[in-house]
């Protein structure tokens, strides 16, 4: 999660509960590495954000602890660990964003599919995050593997490489580039794209017709948390309708995961999107191998 939205949510939690929160913003890869390095003397109480497959890995490495508390039973099974080690508190689909003015200057069409991104007209005009540091980018890799099969997916990503302007370390950096015309197309999750539209940037969100996966960022309580009661209070609040509505009211443009919570203005209903069915347990178990293969085969192709 980006720092701005994290601050919106956590400041609202503090305002409602009186419980102060200090946080450090890191991409999911560096965050996991830090949690692991500090596991014998945890400096944090909660891992807040990062796609659920990262929390699965943390559970498997015994870095987190179980907690169900309030709201757990009402979450869908895809949004929680059955043993209570993590729970998702929002979701977002993957999408393309295009800068309409840049495409017009290029005389290039709007891409409507994953296949369209291979068009040579987009050479050096696409930004996406790197799966080495970004859970957002791993979502792309896993989506393509499930959609196409592993061999065809890696062949596709190698063919896409010439069109990539840069692989960013942050999962939200491409949205900043596309809104100011630094690139024509950006790949990431949708919140920053919807925000750019509200702010008046010439951006359009496109959901590829083959389908997309979605992220379901989660929260985990770290093993050895020094402020356990406060950590549990935050987890419960995030799963409440009140906590979910804060995310909409504060214009995070996140999709809620709790029934009865509000959806942001201008956001298409999640049910209207074509999605790819991916098992987060599989995604978590395969992450290390698939990212290593991406580094060896795709990054070198650029």
Q: How far apart are alpha carbons 85 and 136 in whole angstroms?
A: 21
Q: Are residues 171 and 184 in the same domain?
A: yes
| Residue 203, domain extent | 93-213+281-301
At 27 the pLDDT is 85
Q: Is residue 272 part of a domain?
A: no
Q: Is residue 84 part of a domain?
A: yes
Q: Are residues 160 and 194 in the same domain?
A: yes
Q: Is residue 270 part of a domain?
A: no
Give the pLDDT of the chain (302 residues) as one tens digit per residue. Answer: 888 899 999 999 999 999 999 999 998 889 999 999 999 999 999 999 988 888 999 999 999 999 999 999 999 988 999 999 999 999 999 999 999 999 999 999 999 999 999 999 999 999 999 999 888 899 999 999 999 999 999 999 999 999 999 999 988 899 999 999 999 999 999 999 999 999 999 999 999 999 998 888 999 999 999 999 999 999 999 999 999 999 999 999 999 999 899 998 888 888 889 999 888 788 888 999 999 999 999 999 87
Q: How far apart are alpha carbons 59 and 66 in whole angstroms?
A: 9
Q: What is the bridge-based pairing of β-strands 46-48 and 203-206? A: unpaired
Number of domains in the chain: 2
Q: Is residue 271 part of a domain?
A: no
Q: How far is CA 16 from CA 20, 90, 108, 243, in A?
A: 10, 19, 49, 10
At 154 the pLDDT is 99
Nearest C-alpha neighbor of 222 from the set 204, 234, 207: 234
> Token pair of 224, please?
């050895």
Look up the pTM and report it.
0.80
Q: Is residue 26 part of a domain?
A: yes
SS3 assignment, position 215: strand
Q: Are residues 86 and 223 in the same domain?
A: yes
At 78 the pLDDT is 86
CB 198 within 8 A of CB 160: no
Q: Are residues 101 and 209 in the same domain?
A: yes
Q: Are residues 72 and 124 in the same domain?
A: no
Tracing tokens 């601050």 back to the chain, one arrives at: 7
Q: How far is CA 294 from CA 173, 217, 298, in A?
A: 20, 22, 5
Nearest C-alpha neighbor of 139 from the set 150, 127, 151, 130: 130
Q: Are residues 145 and 292 in the same domain?
A: yes
> Token pair of 150, please?
């592993």
At 31 the pLDDT is 95
CATH number of residue 72's parent domain: 3.40.190.10
Nearest C-alpha neighbor of 111 from the set 184, 215, 214: 184
Q: Is residue 276 part of a domain?
A: no
SS3 assignment, position 93: strand
At 283 the pLDDT is 87
Q: Are residues 97 and 80 in the same domain?
A: no
Q: Are residues 16 and 146 in the same domain?
A: no
Q: Is residue 128 part of a domain?
A: yes
Q: Is residue 201 part of a domain?
A: yes
Q: CA 184, 134, 143: angle at the middle one, nearest 5?
A: 75
Q: Are residues 172 and 202 in the same domain?
A: yes
At 227 the pLDDT is 98
Q: Are residues 51 and 23 in the same domain?
A: yes
At 136 the pLDDT is 86
Q: Which residues contact 231 (CB under 8 A, 6 or more apart)?
A: 45, 46, 67, 221, 222, 225
Q: Are residues 106 and 144 in the same domain?
A: yes
Tracing tokens 């200090």 back to the chain, one arrives at: 22
Count helices and strands in the chain by DSSP H and E runs = 11, 10
Q: Which residues contact 292 (CB under 8 A, 6 or more apart)?
A: none
Q: Are residues 161 and 62 in the same domain?
A: no
């Amino acid at each position: 999660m980006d720092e701005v939205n994290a601050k919106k949510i956590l400041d609202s939690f503090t305002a409602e509960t009186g419980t102060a929160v200090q946080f450090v913003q890191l991409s999911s890869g560096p965050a996991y590495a830090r949690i692991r390095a500090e596991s014998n003397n945890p400096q944090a109480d909660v891992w807040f954000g990062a796609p659920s497959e990262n929390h699965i890995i943390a559970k498997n490495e015994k870095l987190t602890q179980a907690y169900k508390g309030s709201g757990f039973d009402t979450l869908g099974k895809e949004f929680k660990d059955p043993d209570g080690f993590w729970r998702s508190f929002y979701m977002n689909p993957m999408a393309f964003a295009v800068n309409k003015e840049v495409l017009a200057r290029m005389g290039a069409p709007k891409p409507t599919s994953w296949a369209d991104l291979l068009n040579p007209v987009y050479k050096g005009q696409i930004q996406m995050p790197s799966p080495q540091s970004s859970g957002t980018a791993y979502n792309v890799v896993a989506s393509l593997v499930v959609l196409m099969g592993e061999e065809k997916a890696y062949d596709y990503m190698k063919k896409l490489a010439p069109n990539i302007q840069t692989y960013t370390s942050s999962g939200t950096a491409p949205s900043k580039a596309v809104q100011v015309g630094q690139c024509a197309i950006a790949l990431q999750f949708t919140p920053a794209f919807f925000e750019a539209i509200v702010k008046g940037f010439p951006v359009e969100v496109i959901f590829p017709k083959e389908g997309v996966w979605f992220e379901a960022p989660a929260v985990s309580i770290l093993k050895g948390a020094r402020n356990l009661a406060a950590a549990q209070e935050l987890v419960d609040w995030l799963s409440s309708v009140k906590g979910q509505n804060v995310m909409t009211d504060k214009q995070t443009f996140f999709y809620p995961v709790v029934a009865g919570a509000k959806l942001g203005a201008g956001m298409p209903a999640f049910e209207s999107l074509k999605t790819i069915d991916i098992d987060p347990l599989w995604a978590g178990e395969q992450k290390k191998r698939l990212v290593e293969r991406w580094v060896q085969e795709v990054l070198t192709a650029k």
